[in-house]
């Protein structure tokens, strides 16, 4: 798939129209165009303001608990008998996942824009919880759209959001999952243009969201760079992250994109298996198309209708992927692989038993790939997996899948 | 080449202009009737489509169904789902247009939809097939002018108008961006919101029209939030044509039994409703 050996830079996107090569852009109805242009303007002003960076850094340190540790997974390394495995521990952040990184950044943008009402979509509920958290922290009204099916399988997070003062609105339409929650959030935004800010949780959607979310999540990779220098005195050899929309992965990858010696793997959810058609692997099983404001790889049928995604992980259950990932795939810079529901469940249990860490089902997919790749690599290969969320929210789903009664 | 075929080719691309010229000559506003292709069934849809011109629809908008219609309210979402149950694809929509064109050559047909099905079909292939079927204009809800050129070059080459939306949120600074590449007419979205929900405010539309007229000589059509003949009449006083969509689609939804089967008089009921809308609109101008 590589078009050239390597580009001058892989960190140049998006261009002024929000494109990453053929991908990205601003495919929204005219009513929303002025709004997203306003968000872009506000975000660009924040980038130029040292006070913004300082305020965000302060919150990251004192509220979210950054930097997250870089942890040598000694027993898993021993178990695999190959690569030296590290976890970037973003599950230790306040609210239990990497989602808080982006929410803190965007809530500061929304405040500067003078917005009083925040809306967001959520799949697993991690982004919903992180959004509800920052809204509580800053005293802003919060409405979360969540698919009815996801509400059913992520009950603890739904209750958490309500405790934080958010209104959770169930979306029964379509497939009642993340994509439908995003449709409803966009419909809300278009009807409440004056006071509302849409806090998108993944590195997808219309420009400037993919770029803005990536920038706020890049703190993961930037910290890792320093931490790996301290731990090993050099750069890692490979980076591994789960990919739904792809925000934790792009945050890990982006600071290393021009270090061509660092190999990168995005792990898509293969659900019940790529051949069954019941999966959420937009790159492995999709084609380029346009949805939710951007051009990217999408699961779709021969008539261009969006297909249902399937994954045991609600956070990966989305029929698309962020446009920068689509471009990195197209350029051959990042390799996209996949792991099934069952492989993720195996990884979930292995990590719990050997490391005493319950991973969320999303990074369990990344770990499933590590289980395949690490044993074949030499001992001096430094591998870093993003532990982007903790698994407490998933215990009911895992219990059901394993046939355990609680 | 038969006389009918020659007329069909001559009319290509000019039907919209001709229709607005005719409306102007008769000193009246026009009615744009929206229906989703193959809703509720291909047969009933065809009956409705063929009856629309004599029911008083001056232009017809046909919705291409999409799984994720982000700018649409519940009525049109459900109509898309009904259509998709029949497996409706772009070729089916174009076939319906060809069928319509066998007997009706003057009424402009505008396709309205979302970009993904068209992108997947192929921009050039779509433009060529649509022109051949007798389509006059295209509205793609999620294709703002910034992203539209890729499709627009092919539409232009095939004599199809690219119709852009302007919204209450579009500023005076932004309107030229929208209007510079517009053709056919401009579609003014009367409410900040999705289709079929809030009611369009007549005073706000009047103010908006004055603003639009400063920026363009193209006919201005107003839609979103127009539900009754009275509202259609009130809005039409200030613009060149009014679009009614969700309210027509609601008549279709009401004529379905519990199993989703259409009542045998459904197409008649829909066309009767369109007649009342047309009476409202056509009497709007003094």
Q: Which two tokens stand for residue A253?
A: 């990858």
Helical spans, DSSP H, in A125-246 = 126-138, 148-153, 155-163, 178-191, 209-217, 219-232
Predicted confidence at residue A5, as pLDDT, reads 66
Domain(s) labelled CATH 3.40.50.1100 in chain A stretch across 19-60+99-213, 67-96+218-401
Alpha-carbon B159 to chain mean position: 17
CATH class of A67-96+218-401: alpha beta
Q: Which two tokens stand for residue A296?
A: 């990217």
Q: Are strands B161-162 and B137-140 parallel, antiparallel or unpaired?
A: parallel
Nearest-5° angle of CA A370, CA A376, CA A382? 60
Contact (CB<8Å) B116/A291: yes
CATH 3.40.50.1100 fits A19-60+99-213, yes or no: yes
Roughly what angle, to the nearest 10 degrees, separates helices B145-157 and B123-133?
50
Per-residue pLDDT of chain A (406 residues; tens, 9 = 90+): 444 567 889 999 999 999 999 999 999 999 999 999 999 999 999 999 999 999 999 999 999 999 999 999 999 999 999 999 999 999 999 999 999 999 999 999 999 999 999 999 998 899 999 999 999 999 999 999 999 988 987 888 999 999 999 999 999 987 888 899 999 999 999 999 999 999 999 999 999 999 999 999 999 999 999 999 999 999 999 999 999 999 999 999 999 999 999 999 999 999 999 999 999 999 999 999 999 999 999 999 999 999 989 999 988 989 999 999 999 999 999 999 999 999 999 999 999 999 999 999 999 999 999 999 999 999 999 999 999 999 998 999 999 999 998 8
Q: Is B63 near chain A, with CB under 8 Å?
A: no
Q: Is B175 near chain A, with CB under 8 Å?
A: no
Predicted confidence at residue B6, as pLDDT, reads 36
Please count the residues of chain A: 406
Query: Chain B residues with CB inside 8 Å of A34's CB?
Result: 167, 169-171, 174
Give the phi and the psi of residue A397 in degrees, each rounded to 5: -65, -45
Q: How far is A189 from chain B (nearest CA, A)?
A: 8
Closest CA to B187 of B59, B37, B45: B59
**What is the interface pTM, i.e. ipTM, of the complex?**
0.94
CA–CA distance, A136 with A133 (Å, rounded to integer): 5
Q: Is B123 near chain A, with CB under 8 Å?
A: no
The band of B2, judged by pLDDT with boundaries at 50, 70 and 90, is very low
Query: Chain A residues with CB inside 8 Å of B198's CB?
Result: 191
CA–CA distance, A288 with A283 (Å, rounded to integer): 9
The band of B7, judged by pLDDT with boundaries at 50, 70 and 90, is very low
Mean pLDDT (whole number) for B25-50: 98
Roughly what angle, to the nearest 10 degrees, separates helices B202-215 and B229-236?
40
Per cent of chain B over pLDDT 90 is 89
CA–CA distance, B166 with B178 (Å, rounded to integer): 7
What pTM value is reported for the model?
A: 0.95
Which of B10, B47, B50, B61 is labelled catalytic?
B61
Is residue B128 part of the annotated active site? The answer reads: no
Find, in chain A, the residue whose alpha carbon is nearest to that of B145: A30
Domain B3-282: what homologous superfamily?
Aldolase class I (3.20.20.70)
DSSP state, A73?
-
Is residue B259 part of the annotated active site? The answer reads: no
């Amino acid at each position: 798939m590589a078009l050239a050996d390597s580009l001058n830079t892989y960190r140049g996107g998006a261009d002024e129209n929000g494109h990453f090569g053929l991908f990205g852009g601003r495919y929204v109805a005219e009513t929303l165009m002025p709004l997203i242009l306003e968000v872009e303007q506000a975000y660009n002003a924040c980038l130029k303001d040292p006070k913004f960076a300082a305020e965000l850094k302060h919150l990251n340190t004192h509220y979210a608990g950054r930097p997250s540790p870089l942890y040598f997974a000694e027993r898993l390394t021993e178990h695999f008998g190959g690569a030296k495995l590290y976890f970037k521990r973003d599950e230790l952040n306040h609210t239990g996942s990497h989602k808080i990184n982006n929410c803190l950044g965007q809530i500061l943008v929304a405040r500067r824009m003078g917005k009083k009402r925040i809306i967001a979509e959520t799949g697993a509920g991690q982004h919903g919880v992180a959004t509800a958290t920052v809204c509580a922290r800053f005293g802003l009204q919060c409405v979360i759209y969540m698919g009815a099916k996801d509400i059913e399988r992520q009950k603890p997070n739904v209750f958490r959001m309500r405790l934080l003062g958010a209104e959770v609105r169930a979306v029964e339409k379509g497939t009642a999952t993340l994509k439908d929650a995003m449709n409803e959030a966009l419909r809300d935004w278009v009807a409440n243009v004056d006071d509302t800010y849409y806090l998108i949780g993944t590195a997808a959607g219309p420009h400037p969201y993919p770029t803005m979310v990536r920038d706020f999540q890049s703190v993961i990779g930037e910290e890792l760079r320093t931490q790996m220098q301290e731990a090993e005195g050099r750069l890692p050899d490979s980076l591994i992250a789960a990919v739904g929309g792809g925000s934790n992965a792009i945050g890990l990858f982006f600071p290393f994109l021009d270090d061509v010696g660092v190999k990168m793997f995005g792990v898509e959810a293969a659900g019940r298996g790529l051949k069954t058609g019941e999966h959420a692997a937009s790159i492995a099983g999709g084609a380029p198309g346009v949805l939710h404001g951007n051009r990217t790889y999408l699961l779709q049928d021969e008539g261009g209708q969006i297909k249902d995604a399937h994954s045991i992980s609600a956070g990966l259950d989305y029929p698309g992927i962020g446009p920068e990932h689509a471009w990195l795939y197209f350029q051959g810079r990042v390799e996209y692989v996949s792991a099934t529901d069952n492989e993720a469940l195996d990884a979930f249990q292995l990590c719990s038993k050997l490391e005493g860490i319950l991973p969320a089902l999303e990074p369990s997919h990344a770990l499933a790939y590590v289980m395949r790749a690490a044993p074949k690599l030499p001992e001096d290969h430094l591998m870093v997996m993003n532990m982007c969320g903790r698994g407490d929210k998933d215990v009911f789903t895992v219990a059901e899948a394993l046939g355990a009664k609680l | 080449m038969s006389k009918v075929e020659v007329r069909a080719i001559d009319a290509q691309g000019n039907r919209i202009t001709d229709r607005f010229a005719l409306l102007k000559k008769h000193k009246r506003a026009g009615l744009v009737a929206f229906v989703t292709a193959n809703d509720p069934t291909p047969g009933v849809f065809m009956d409705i489509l063929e009856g629309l011109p004599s029911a008083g629809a001056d232009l017809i908008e046909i919705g291409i169904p999409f799984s994720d219609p982000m700018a649409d309210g519940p009525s049109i979402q459900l109509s898309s789902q009904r259509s998709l149950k029949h497996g409706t694809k772009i070729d089916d929509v174009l076939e319906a247009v060809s069928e319509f064109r066998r007997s009706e050559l003057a009424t402009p047909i505008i396709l309205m939809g979302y970009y993904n099905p068209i992108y997947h079909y192929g921009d050039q292939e779509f433009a060529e097939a649509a022109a051949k079927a007798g389509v006059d204009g295209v509205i793609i809800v999620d294709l703002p002018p910034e992203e539209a050129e890729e499709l627009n070059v092919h539409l232009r080459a095939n004599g199809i108008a690219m119709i852009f939306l302007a919204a209450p949120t579009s500023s005076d600074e932004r309107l030229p961006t929208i209007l510079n590449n517009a053709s056919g007419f401009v579609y003014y979205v009367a409410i900040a919101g999705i289709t079929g929900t809030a009611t369009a405010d007549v005073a706000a539309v009047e103010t908006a029209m004055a603003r639009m007229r400063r920026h363009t000589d193209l006919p201005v059509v107003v839609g979103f939030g127009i539900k009754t003949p009275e509202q259609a009449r009130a809005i039409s006083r200030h613009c060149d044509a009014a679009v009614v969509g969700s309210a027509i689609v609601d008549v279709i939804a009401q004529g379905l039994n519990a199993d989703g089967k259409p009542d045998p008089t459904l197409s008649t009921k829909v066309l009767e409703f369109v007649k009342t809308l047309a009476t409202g609109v056509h009497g709007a101008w003094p």
